[in-house]
Amino acid sequence: MKHRRITISDVADALGLTKGTVSRALNGYSDISDGTRIRVEKKVKELGYRPLSHAQAIRTGRVRSLGLVLQVNAHDAQRPFLADFLAGVTKGASDKNWTLTVATSTSATDTLDTLRRLVEERKADGFILPRTFRRDDRIALLKRMDVPFVLYGRTKDMSNCPSYDILGEEAIEEAVLRLASFGHRRIGYINGGLEYSYSHVRAKGYRSGLKKAGIDYDPAIVQEDAVTVVQGQAAGERLLSTQAPPTAIVCAVDMAALGLYQAIRTFGLEPGRDVSVIGYDGVPEGAYAQPALTTFQVDNRRAGERLAQLLIRRIRDGYSEDLIEFDTARLVVRASDGPPPRRIS
């Protein structure tokens, strides 16, 4: 025979109580004496009883699960950060005895459909929204359906939006100042796509860095929409083709920086020596590149864990102002930046 799983009634019977009493004892109701509460807890451990979360869910409406919808067709920088991020999220979730339900989608509308389906079938009590856009339909949808969520990133209208984000503006500003302190005066910038909110954040850091360094902003040495190696290479070639090409370039995304390497070599120059490069993300490839890429490392595991905790609190206690957190990226100095080359001519 299959060993039948033990239910709350088994626990109740073993103690001569009713299942209602056992349930209240386990859920911390105040009308249970300490004596019985302890007896119940002991018996639960003894019998190895664990409530079925979906049996609880039917009454409480909570499945104790976090939802995550990943859009994966975009063959962008999503890849490297995923494993760490998942590790963080599931850590944060399982610490509180929650689980994670993941789904994938292939387009923005597909993402919305998937979210809707998960909500309707109540597969999750709330959602983590990674890679937020400036204007994000997911947020609008979930707000309309009154479903809790937390952002990894920011968005235009942050009202009632619990969120966690890295201070990319600080990092990029620091990158600019660092290059300026090396003596660079022509510092270019390769940004990500403007639909992403992080691109605006980091661009802001670029400008404030220039201002603090007393350098004028020159749109001729700023590029956009580069999040892959190929796009980074193209953007780099455009920058280096300008009349007064930059001697240092900050990239909003590591993968673009790696593409920039190739562009630099196309011009017969050497990254790190002739043109300084500083990236952002901390992708593993950067450490193996030649020269190893100086970059700002983001701790995605920590991000995932914090996001899970924030979301659980949001689900349990509702929205409050203190559900907004920021963290910093860590500068990892390697070999791709330094003083500008001495002018020979």
Partner DNA sequence: TTTCTTGCCGAAACCGGTTTCGTAAAAGAG
Partner DNA sequence: CTCTTTTACGAAACCGGTTTCGGCAAGAAA
Given the rule CB under 7 A, which residues bind DNA?
Answer: 5, 7-9, 16-21, 23-24, 26-27, 29, 31-36, 49, 51-52, 55-56, 58-60
Do residues 213 and 180 make contact, with C-beta atoms less than 8 angstroms apart? yes
- Indicate whether 42 belongs to the interface with a second copy (CB under 8 A): no
Q: Which helix (H) or strand (E) holds 137?
A: helix 137-145
Q: Which helix (H) or strand (E) holds 251?
A: strand 248-251
Which residue number, 2 or 343, has a Cβ lying nearer to a second copy? Answer: 2
Rounded to whole angstroms, the Cα distance separating 12 from 200 reads 58
Which residue number, 228 or 247, has a Cβ lying nearer to a second copy? Answer: 228
Q: What angle do CA 146, 149, 152 make, to 5 degrees?
A: 150
Residue 190 to residues 76, 236, 244, 297: CA-CA distances in angstroms?
Answer: 16, 8, 16, 17
Which residue number, 274 or 285, has a Cβ lying nearer to a second copy? Answer: 285
Which residue number, 74 or 158, has a Cβ lying nearer to a second copy? Answer: 74
Q: In sequence order, what are the residues at sequence separation of 6 or more whose Cβ sits closer than 8 angstroms to the Cβ of residue 231?
A: 225, 256, 259
DSSP state of 271: B
State in angstroms the smallest separation of the CB of 178 from a second copy: 26
Interaction with a second copy in 148-187: which residues (CB under 8 A)? Answer: none
Q: What angle do CA 258, 171, 108 make, to 5 degrees?
A: 65
- Site map for a second copy, 12-41, x if CB under 8 A? ------------------------------
Residue of the chain from 24, 37, 91, 204 that contacts a second copy (CB under 8 A): 91
Q: Which amino acid is at 126?
A: G
Which residue number, 95 or 242, has a Cβ lying nearer to a second copy? Answer: 95
- Indicate whether 284 belongs to the interface with a second copy (CB under 8 A): yes
Residue numbers at the binding site for a second copy (CB under 8 A): 2, 5, 50-55, 57-58, 63, 65, 70, 72, 78-80, 82-84, 86-87, 90-91, 94, 99-104, 114, 117-118, 120-123, 146, 229, 258, 284-285, 288
